[in-house]
Structures are given as structure tokens and as C-alpha cells.
Amino acid sequence: MSTRLPAAPLLAAVDAAVGRPRPGWTARLRRRVGESGVRAYERAQREGSLTLRRVERFCDRFGWHPRELYGDAYDAAALAGCPADFDPWQGVA
């Protein structure tokens, strides 16, 4: 099962970035995320959530880090499958 995050924070940020509801917003969205991204955006609107992978892909296309939109919820989702004693910073510094 893939980890899912609520769609609202991402959809609001995308809408602001592409100027929704101004005319031509779908074309601007398509240029940023491609046709599959537009379909994923529409699916997120319907379902109210996105997979962690899809959130990361959207954020990459717009130059955001998912933590900017989701805060601690992103960390929890990203580390959901790790053991309780896992330290993501071990060996970094």
C-alpha cells in the first residue's frame, strides 16, 4: 500500500502557481507537469489525496520541497515504512 497525503495543500499551491482560474491555466499546468500530471491533478481533486511519489513529482516540477507544503506530515509519510529506531541523519554529518 502506498502512503497518501491530502491533496488540498498541493492543489492550492499548484493553483496559485499556474494562476487558476485565469484563462489558460490548464495549458500552463500542462507545460509544467505534462499530460499525465494534469490527469493526476484531476484525480487528486476527485479523490482528495495523492501518493507520496506523486506529491514529490509535482513539487520537483515546481521547485518546491514537499515539506514546504506538508510540514511534519511529509516526514511521517516519507519515513512510514522505516523501523522505529531509524535515524535519517545518521552518518550525514
Provide the pLDDT for residue 54. Answer: 94
Provide the pLDDT for residue 72. Answer: 94
Assigned domain for 83 exists: no
Provide the pLDDT for residue 17. Answer: 95
| % helix, strand, coil for the chain, step of 5 | 60, 5, 30
Assigned domain for 84 exists: no
Q: Would the pTM of this model clear 0.75, i.e. be above it?
A: yes
Provide the pLDDT for residue 64. Answer: 97
Number of domains in the chain: 1
Rounded Cα gap, residues 16 and 84, in angstroms: 37
Assigned domain for 91 exists: no
Grid coordinates standing for 89? 541523519
Domain that holds residue 26: 4-77
Q: Cα dihedral sign for 47, 53, 57, 58?
A: positive
If we measure between CA atoms, which residue out of 58, 72, 76 comes closest to residue 12?
Answer: 58
pLDDT 10s digit of each residue in the chain, 93 long?
578 999 999 999 999 999 988 999 999 999 999 999 999 999 999 999 999 999 999 999 999 999 999 999 999 999 998 998 998 888 886
Assigned domain for 87 exists: no
